[in-house]
Chains A and B, each alone.
Chain A
Amino acid sequence: MSGTGIIQVYVFILAGFVGFLLISKVPPLLHTPLMAATNAISGISLVGSIVLAGGQYGRVATILGVVAVACAMTNVVGGFIITDRMLNMFKRGDKPTDKKEGSA
């Protein structure tokens, strides 16, 4: 394995660790928006797709690339819009209740 490969594994493990710690704290209340959000973020495949579509690697690669860009972009646009739409619906009541803050 090359040096870059090792750094990549580092990045993966640490990012996974950060993800694990963060997501564990997301209350069940927001689990559906969370799924929509990670879905939008998974549109990051765009980064790979764009290079494939615009790199002139031959016709087959370009076609695969364009389809991949379209798929990933669908998730980005649709995912962020729907997450925003959902989060916008979560409103606090006017009268304060005995619910404790934030924790789950």
Chain B
Amino acid sequence: MTAMTFLPLLQAAIDGAEHGGTQELVIQLTYLVASVLFILGLRSLTKPDQARRGMQLAALGMLLAIIGTMLQQEILTFTWILTGLVIGSIIGYPLGKFVPMTAMPQRIAFSHMFGALAATLVGIGEFYHMYQAGLPAPADSDVRFKMAALGFEVLFGALTVSGSFMAFGKLQEFITGRPVTYKGQNIVTAALFLVAVGAFVMIIVQPSNVWAFYTMVLVSFIIGFLFVLPIGGADMPVVVSLLNSYAGLAASATGFAIGNNVLIIAGALDGASGFILSLIMSKAMNRSFANVLFGAFGSGGGAASTRTSEGLTAKSITAEDAAVLLAYAGKVIVVPGYGMAVAQAQHQVRELAELIEKKGGEVKYAIHPVAGRMPGHMNVLLAEANVPYDRMYDMEEINDQFPECDVAVVIGANDVVNPAAKTDPGSPIYGMPILRVNEAKAVIVLKRSMNTGFAGIENDLFFDEKTSMLFGDAKASLSKLVSEVKSL
């Protein structure tokens, strides 16, 4: 199937070469090789032990594409290019080297902003060059296709810039993580969207319409803010993935606008990736795209479950007793959630797991697809704490193992282990796939307090008679457990 992609590409390379001679052929070949390396790099991510090598190849591909671009005849001065490259490297290096793994979700959202900004600026620059630089304007009929591409580029680009900024703000928590809603919200957004589409049509009909172009950029930029505003913190995995997809599509549209295949290919790969991830995330929450984006889930109110916690009491346990339970357990499954990330307790988790293993137990990690704030969030945190990746299990892999599990340890996870998703049709999370922790022989839940989870729903698991609650900060509780198990 890969060969199919390269055929038209090669054709395009040869076409290009006919216009520009050898130099153009060399440039097109670097782009071709870069495209292949990108694809191989992404393919390597299907195997954890080959991934690192594969991504290094992709980085090499990027280097080739940059060198190839430098050879283009249009380029007359290198001073400004180098200035940009140096500034970018200076900003990028610390963003890559020093950002802690716990800050990964906001780090990714932040960089989507950069990617989309680059695409948007290129789009604006192209338009400016065509119509505002005092050059004779090209014939309208020649540029309609290009204008459509430019339109997509700045539409997706501007929306992703502001949307990613909002996502970044919510994840970094300088903007409230609660969904912000107001009356007529969807109508306002829809009206703005119509304006953007109208402007888009306008620039295709009348490409030199400067007003329509900038209106589109501005409106799209505003839509980005409004679009993420009503979406709550726990829905961020979907949003971040979707913005990933948009950033890719904006890059692809740039490729269409300036006639560059490597941009089209890389953008399409990114677009597909973000799209798939957001589908997986929505599915794991048992909600449609539309519901995540326009539903303002978790805003309180509305969701009235028939069940309440009245008359039920949760059983609490001391660290000493919990330690005894864990130290003599044969099979332990750890279920990490966002609470572990907040408390940065992943290192203590690993320490506890090692102690249990030393005492002859077996520890596995069960990871729900939407645990945390981005796809794969928990895996990265555990990997950072030196938990081997072959101990981390996806939901489908591990769910059947809970009945044989002696103790399940839930650390800062709530909705993803709530049995109401299976048993209570009145629950807002009914139908969402969950980790079947309630099937374990005993459950220890590490939790700060009895507050409800993000969705504001009571969790029956906490009132189950085989469940014991260990209250307190996850990191402090785990440290206590570690020292207790050690002293046994």
Contacts and interface: CB of A to CB of B under 8 A. Distances in A.
Contact of A71 (B34, B117, B271): B117
Interface in B383-407: 383-384, 386, 388-394, 397
B344 interface: no
Range class of the B interface residue count: 35 or more
Interface string A62-92: 1011111111111111111111111111111
A82 B95 contact: yes
B96 A32 contact: no
B208 interface: no
Interface string B373-387: 011110110011010
Contact of B88 (A2, A25, A69, A99): A69
Interface of A, helix, strand, loop or mixed by DSSP: helix
Interface in A1-50: 1-2, 4-5, 7-8, 10-50
A55 B76 contact: yes
A66 B70 CA distance: 14
Main secondary structure of the interface of B (DSSP, over half): helix
A25 B376 CA distance: 14
A46 B376 contact: no
Interface stretch (B97-105, B174-182, B184-192, B228-236): B97-105
A92 B80 contact: no
B419 interface: no
Given A51-B258, A60-B128, A99-B391, 4 more contacts: A31-B379, A45-B118, A54-B81, A78-B91
Interface of A: 1-2, 4-5, 7-8, 10-58, 60-62, 64-94, 96-97, 99, 102, 104
Interface of B: 1-2, 4-5, 8-9, 11-12, 15, 31, 34-35, 38-39, 41-43, 45-49, 51-52, 55-56, 58-59, 62, 65-66, 69-70, 72, 74-78, 80-81, 83-85, 87-89, 91-97, 99, 101, 104, 107-108, 111-112, 114-115, 117-119, 121-122, 124-126, 128-129, 132-134, 145, 240-241, 244, 247-248, 250-252, 254-277, 280, 367, 369, 374-377, 379-380, 383-384, 386, 388-394, 397
